[in-house]
Structure 1
Amino acid sequence: MRDILVTLIVFASLPWIIRNPVNGVLMWIWISVMNPHTQSWGFATTFPFAQIIAVITLFSLSTSRAPKTLPASGITFALLAMLLWMNVTTLFAIFPAASQVQLAKVMKIMLMSLVTMVVIRSRQDVHRMIWVLAFSLGYYGVKGGIFTVREGGNFRVWGPIGTFIGGNNEIALALIIVIPLMRYLQLSTDKRWIKHGLTAAMLLSGMAALGTYSRGALLAIAAMIALMWLKSQKKLLGGMLILMCVPPALLFMPARWAERMDSIGDYQADTSAMGRINAWHMAYNLAKDRFFGGGFEIAEPSVFYLYAPNPAAVHAAHSIYFQALGEHGFIGLALYLLLGALTWRSAAWVVRHSRDETELQWAGDLARMIQASLIGFAVGGAFLSLLYFDVPYYLMAAIVALRALTEQHLAARKAEVIR
């Protein structure tokens, strides 16, 4: 039944995608982020829904009268430079065949991220995209939160198998990213039932994140909550809500959860943590030795034999930063950090210039919440190999659109004053 439902939804959306490429981007985000086909058990699990949506979306974009150029933004230029550099580093990859295969996968993700930047231009488009992201990840947050509460936190929460967020650590970070987006949607509606529903979704998503037993997620959620509180215009109320919700949630979790979290301070005795540190040393040593890095797919024994302090402990990078460093060298890491810094600065610019504009309050609210999402990703991503996870790139596209819309509004206001 689920297979048929997902198939009907996708194919029913194709005429709407042809009519407007924005609909294609929204469908792509739903399929690629939520991966609804993984929740079925039949033919839909391997059916190429994403490829079909991507092809129809590109066709719609090519025939549409809408603008087809990337917005002139430092974010887009930095992203293009990073993608170009990835293609260059692949030419010098340690494992050319495997690197070429992974490059093709990454370029597909990045192509649709660029298409998102092209077509998401209006307030309505941005708002709809945030709703799709909130629904896609919130589904697992609500589901996982109910599971955690029902089972007393005694069993781990996992994401959809075979996806970016399939692991317990990965789904935890995804839920941390989506909670601030839910808060924006709550701020943007006057309907009480939607506000209450989003409150429940945020609380359950928080419980689900705790239920993953992810230590990195605990650090990320602390950073995310702290930034949300700092960005809040009602700090006293926000502080009271944090005190009312966070301690009871932590006390609810069982003793073995607390023991796992306590191991953060004793990482030297944890084989998983030491394995990650070994992989980080390997990435650093490799980048020092090879200007272009090692290319994609370098978590191999032969590479660790050459560059790791402990050659026997072969691990993936388990860090977006060391993943960029090991695969694409110091220039690749610098471009990735530049992309993040420009996104943060653009969000801050939107917050600053929308502060005294009633019509731009929504833009300021969303920019603040995206900053909270990104700080959670920046902290949690330090312990996960999620360099190519698509959700942060969609949030970058949202910031590009927010800045353009803010600039347009301020220019129109200035023109009125001159007249």
Structure 2
Amino acid sequence: MRDILVTLVVFGALPWVLRSPVNGALLWVWISVMNPHTQGWGFATAFPFALVVALVTMASMLITREPRRLPSTHVSRVMLALTAWMCATLPFSMFPELSLEMWWKVMKIMLMSFVCMMLVKSERDIRRLVWVLAISLGYYGVKGGVFTLRSGGGNRVWGPAGTFIGDNNAIALALIMVIPLMVFLRQHSTRRWVRHALAASMLLCALAALGAYSRGALLAIAAMVLVLWLKSRSKMAAAVMLATAAPLLIAFMPPEWGSRMESIRSYQADGSAQGRLNAWGMAWNLARDRFFGGGFAIYEEPVFAIYAPNPADLHAAHSIYFQMLGEHGFVGLALYLLLGLLAWRDAAWIIRHAAPVAELRWAAGLAAMIQTSLTGFAVGGAFLSLAYFDLPYYLVGILVTTRVLVERALAVPAAHAAGAPAKALA
């Protein structure tokens, strides 16, 4: 039944996509982030829904006459450079066939991220995209939160199998990243039932993240809470709310959860933590030896035998930073860090210039919440192999489009004051 439902939704939406390609971008984001086909048990689990949507979206872009240009900003140019560098490192991969498979997957994500930047061009489209992201991940947050309540926190929450967020640590990070987006939607919703539904969803997402038993997610939550508090207009009220809610959520979890979180302090005796340190050492040594890195597939016995401090202890990167370093060298890591830094600066620019203008305060609020989400990703991602997770790239794309809109809106009054003709702003 679920397979049929997903198929009907996707194919039923294709005429909607042909009428306007931005609808295809939104449909693609829903499929790539939520992976609804994984919730079935039959033919839909292996059907290429994303490919169908991408092809129809491209066709729609060709037959519609609206201008389609990628915004030319520092962020978009660095993102293009990062994509080009990942293509340049491919021929130098240590395991070409395995790397090619992952490269194809990553390139689809990057391509559609650029397509979203080209198609999402208005405040309305941005809000719709934020809603799609919130619903896509909120589904798992509500589901996981209810599961945690029913089990008393005794069983771990997992994401959809075979996806970027299938692992318990990954789904936890994704859920805490979506909470700030829900905060934005709640702040700008005029319907009481929507605000109540979003508030309940945020609470369940937080509970599901705790129920995933992820130590990295706990650190990310702490970092996000600090940023949220700093950006809050009423810091005293926010502090009281956090001081009340946090102990209640933690007290709900069983002793096993507390024991696992407590192991953060004793990482020297934790096998998992030592394995990560070994993988990080391998990535560092590999990058020093190979300018282009080792490619998308380096977590194999021969690589660890050459570069790891402990050749017998094989682990995935478990860090977005060391993942980029090992797979694409120091240049790849530098471009990745630069992308995050410029995105943060764009968000700060939007907040600074949009907040004083009543019509643009939505942009300032959104940028502040995206900063909060990216903070969680930067901290939690330090312990997870999620360098190619698509959500952060969509958030970066939203910042690019939002800054363009704010710049144009601020330029209109300035141009009128200077007596410039309206057509100069087109």
Give the TM-score taking structure 1 as reference length. 0.99
Partner of 1:265: helix, strand, or coil?
A: coil
Q: Partner letter of residue 213 of structure 1?
A: Y
CA drift of 1:190 comes to: 1.6
Alignment of 1:315-334 (within 5 A): 315-334=315-334
The answer to whether the aligner puts 1:362 opposite 2:394 as a matched pair is no
Q: Which runs of 5+ in 1 are unaligned?
A: none
Q: Which runs of 5+ in 2 are unaligned?
A: 420-426
Alignment of 1:169-188 (within 5 A): 169-188=169-188
Partner of 1:232: 232
Percent identity over the alignment is: 60
Distance in 2, matches of 1:122 and 1:374, equals: 22
Q: CA contact under 8 A between 1:67 and 1:119: conserved in structure 2?
A: no
Question: 1:235-283 CA deviation, whole Å, 9 max, x = no partner?
Answer: 1221111112111101111111000000001001111110001000000
Distance in 1, matches of 2:45 and 2:388, equals: 22
Partner of 2:120: 120
Q: Partner letter of residue 136 of structure 1?
A: S
Partner of 2:348: 348
Give the TM-score taking structure 2 as reference length. 0.97
Partner of 2:264: helix, strand, or coil?
A: helix
Q: CA contact under 8 A between 1:169 and 1:384: conserved in structure 2?
A: yes
Q: Partner letter of residue 393 of structure 1?
A: Y
Alignment of 1:65-214 (within 5 A): 65-214=65-214
Distance in 1, matches of 2:259 and 2:164, equals: 27
CA drift of 1:352 comes to: 0.3
Q: Partner letter of residue 161 of structure 1?
A: A
Q: Partner letter of residue 136 of structure 2?
A: S
Question: 1:304-338 CA deviation, whole Å, 9 max, x = no partner?
Answer: 00000000011110100000000000000000000
Bigger shift: residues 102-111 or 402-411: 102-111
CA drift of 1:293 comes to: 0.7
RMSD: 0.8
CA drift of 1:67 comes to: 2.2
Distance in 2, matches of 1:393 and 1:66, equals: 24
Q: Partner letter of residue 24 of structure 1?
A: G
Partner of 2:312: 312
Partner of 1:164: helix, strand, or coil?
A: coil
Number of residues paired by the alignment? 419
Distance in 2, matches of 1:289 and 1:271, equals: 27
Partner of 2:2: 2
Q: Partner letter of residue 393 of structure 2?
A: Y
Partner of 2:268: 268
Question: 1:277-302 CA deviation, whole Å, 9 max, x = no partner?
Answer: 10000000000011111111100000
Distance in 1, matches of 2:41 and 2:96, equals: 35
Distance in 1, matches of 2:184 and 2:99, equals: 39
Distance in 2, matches of 1:245 and 1:62, equals: 51
CA drift of 1:91 comes to: 1.2
Q: Partner letter of residue 147 of structure 2?
A: F
Distance in 2, matches of 1:119 and 1:235, equals: 37
Bigger shift: residues 171-180 or 240-249: 240-249
CA drift of 1:101 comes to: 1.9
Distance in 1, matches of 2:91 and 2:81, equals: 16
Question: 1:31-83 CA deviation, whole Å, 9 max, x = no partner?
Answer: 11111111111111111111100110111112222222210111110011011
Q: CA contact under 8 A between 1:177 and 1:376: conserved in structure 2?
A: yes
Distance in 2, matches of 1:66 and 1:148, equals: 47
Partner of 2:424: none
Distance in 2, matches of 1:206 and 1:273, equals: 24
